[in-house]
Amino acid sequence: MQRLPLGIQTFSELRNGDYLYVDKTEVIHRLITSGKPFFLARPRRFGKSLLVSTLAEIFRGNKQFFEGLAIYDKWDWSKKHPVIHIDWSIASFSTVDELKRGYKEIILRIARNYGVAVAPENPSIYNLSEALYRKYNEQVAVLIDEYDKPLHEAIVADDKNLFGQVKQFLHEVYTPLKSCDPYLKFLFLTGISKYAGISIFSTLNNLTDISLDERYSTICGYTQEELESNFKEHIDALTLSRTPPQSREQILASIKKWYNGYSWDGKTSLYNPLSTLLLFDTKDFENYWFTTATPSFLLKILAKKKRLGIALGETVVRSLVSTTDDPYKIAEETLFFQTGYLTIKEIRQTPEGGKLFALDFPNREVRESFSRSLLAEYGQYDENKSDILREKLEAQLLASDSVALSATLRSLLAWIPYKLIIQREFYYHSILLLWLRLLGFNITAEVSTNLGIIDAVWELNDQIFVAEIKYAKPSKIKDPSKGKKPANNKNTLTARSVKALDKLLAAAFVQIEEKRYPERYKTENKKIKALAIACSGREVKCEIREIEEVKEI
């Protein structure tokens, strides 16, 4: 069997081969002794399948795999439970009939392996559970990995009819689970999204969703302590692979910037396991998770709704639970969180006792890669020019060269496809910051102060730029070559006088001063500059002013 690097396989292969692993059995033991039916949502490539494989080996009583691990002397290994393990992650189909045949083969194969008989024409989890219980006189562990994968396959196919058929089939598969209760020792499901319309969540009314439960927040992914204690040799090897070699502290900072940042409780920050393991194998900082887990339907949804603001990352929502199973109607923030592109940075309590979830991109890997994919969707992103453009922008900002910076931002805006632009300030704001982030700049959007909201804060070396972006619709003037309105109605040239742009710049500086935006950064021990950007159509003009003195409130 082909072996993937550093343990991206099943639990048994990890324990039998020379692979790295992180001991999660303490939190697993807490889970399996706390009840029966559980659901866990995590993004793809985040260790759900390895978790399910681990659960399977525990319930099978394979004690030899767990020597030296936390669960070794806590579990009754004399009890060997039959296991029904259904892995939808391998599902590949073009019709619902193909999906049904695949499911039937899984049930029949498990029955053959255990030497029990089920109706070959209509096998089900219920019939298999009952047969296993009666033969072995032990309750059964049912483990369903990626329960929603068939739905995502239908979404990617962009076939609403197929989606409806798959949804109905999964309803038939999952509904009998409630009747299985007398035969079940444990029931565990994983998935990416929690679709409200899937019967499993209404039928199993005692199903416990542990996705945001602080007690299980670290069940997948690596904590900082786990990273440093389990991968010490690989971290050391990574320091020596750099030219020139870097210190351990520098390497740890880079790993954290690239692959850390995931959280499901707003407190504990986790590393993406796939990306971390591939980094140690290849010794290159690359976008591993994104290239293996990017669902194209997310880009389609954004393109359709032109919700570019969410691509900047920062957003605050009251709920992370979807109320519909239609992916085109689920709130974009919820969908992006469930699929791993946004994560919880903070959970805030409201005066009424509710919760607010502050979301953002988890790390550089996801933020930059998603921006690149979104802009590439429109066929305009030229990665070969990005390094040159970044160097120009950086030099112009540090030198406070407003004229040159205006020209560079104008060329940047020219890359943006016209069909992507909506003549509103928010869209110019979003797409401009999207590009700048893609170029690798450290920019924070919509920073709240006690007097207002700063459009963007741009940190560069020892300087902080407090930016205000102003927008006005371009003037509509008749085509001078014809002197009258053209027949095709394309008579609007996106033009704006220098005088009008100057008015926008003046308004931006007035707002920066009146709202006292620089005060937030007066203790940063960095040079603070005010950056005003005026946009109208394809025209951009900006001005940089150094803040000599930050006024007190």
Say what the pLDDT of residue 380 is.
58
| Burial of residue 384, with CB atoms counted within 10 A of its CB: 0-12 exposed, 13-18 middle, 19 or more buried | exposed
Model confidence at 537: pLDDT above 60: yes
Model confidence at 256: pLDDT above 90: yes
pLDDT in tens, 269-288: 999 999 999 999 999 998 88
Boundaries of domain holding 408: 379-546
Query: Global pTM?
Result: 0.78
- State whether 242 and 352 are in the same domain: no
Say what the pLDDT of residue 493 is.
34
Model confidence at 180: pLDDT above 80: yes
Q: Establish if 26 belongs to a structural domain.
A: yes
Say what the pLDDT of residue 10 is.
41
Angle at 229 between CA 221 and CA 345, to 5 degrees: 40
CA atoms within a 13 Å half-sphere pointing along the CA-CB vector of 513: 11
Say what the pLDDT of residue 424 is.
63
Say what the pLDDT of residue 492 is.
36
Q: Which of 237-241, 379-383, 467-471 has the lowest mean pLDDT?
A: 379-383
Q: Which residue has the higher pLDDT, 506 or 352?
A: 506
Say what the pLDDT of residue 262 is.
96
Q: Which of 47-56, 207-216, 221-230, 295-304 has the lowest mean pLDDT?
A: 295-304
Distance of alpha carbon 5 from alpha carbon 544, whole angstroms: 49
For the chain, the domain total comes to: 4
pLDDT in tens, 289-309: 877 655 566 666 666 655 556
Q: Establish if 37 belongs to a structural domain.
A: yes
- State whether 469 and 521 are in the same domain: yes
Please report which helix (H) or strand (E) contains residue 190, including its range: strand 184-191
Distance of alpha carbon 142 from alpha carbon 84, whole angstroms: 5
Q: Which residue has the higher pLDDT, 486 or 435?
A: 435
- State whether 69 and 149 are in the same domain: yes
Q: Establish if 369 belongs to a structural domain.
A: no
The CA distances from residue 502 to 37, 498, 499, 535, 544, in Å, are: 63, 6, 5, 10, 13
Model confidence at 456: pLDDT above 90: no
Distance of alpha carbon 379 from alpha carbon 298, whole angstroms: 17
Say what the pLDDT of residue 311 is.
63
The pLDDT confidence band at residue 134, using thresholds 50, 70 and 90, is very high
Q: Which residues contact 13 (CB under 8 A, 6 or more apart)?
A: 1, 3, 19
Q: Which residue has the higher pLDDT, 195 or 197?
A: 195
- State whether 197 and 242 are in the same domain: no
Task: Answer with the one of 235, 267, 292 that is the final residue of a domain.
Answer: 292
Say what the pLDDT of residue 345 is.
92
Average pLDDT score over the chain: 82
Among 261, 284, 259, residue whose Cα is nearest residue 273: 259
Distance of alpha carbon 542 from alpha carbon 545, whole angstroms: 10
- State whether 162 and 228 are in the same domain: no
Among 461, 445, 442, 468, residue whose Cα is nearest residue 399: 461
Task: Answer with the one of 310, 325, 360 that is the final residue of a domain.
Answer: 360
Instruction: Indicate which CATH number applies to the domain containing 95.
Output: 3.40.50
Task: Answer with the one of 161, 176, 211 that is the final residue of a domain.
Answer: 211
Say what the pLDDT of residue 425 is.
65
Q: Which of 70-84, 128-142, 360-374, 381-395 has the lowest mean pLDDT?
A: 381-395
% the chain with pLDDT above 70: 78
Q: Establish if 435 belongs to a structural domain.
A: yes
- State whether 174 and 79 are in the same domain: yes
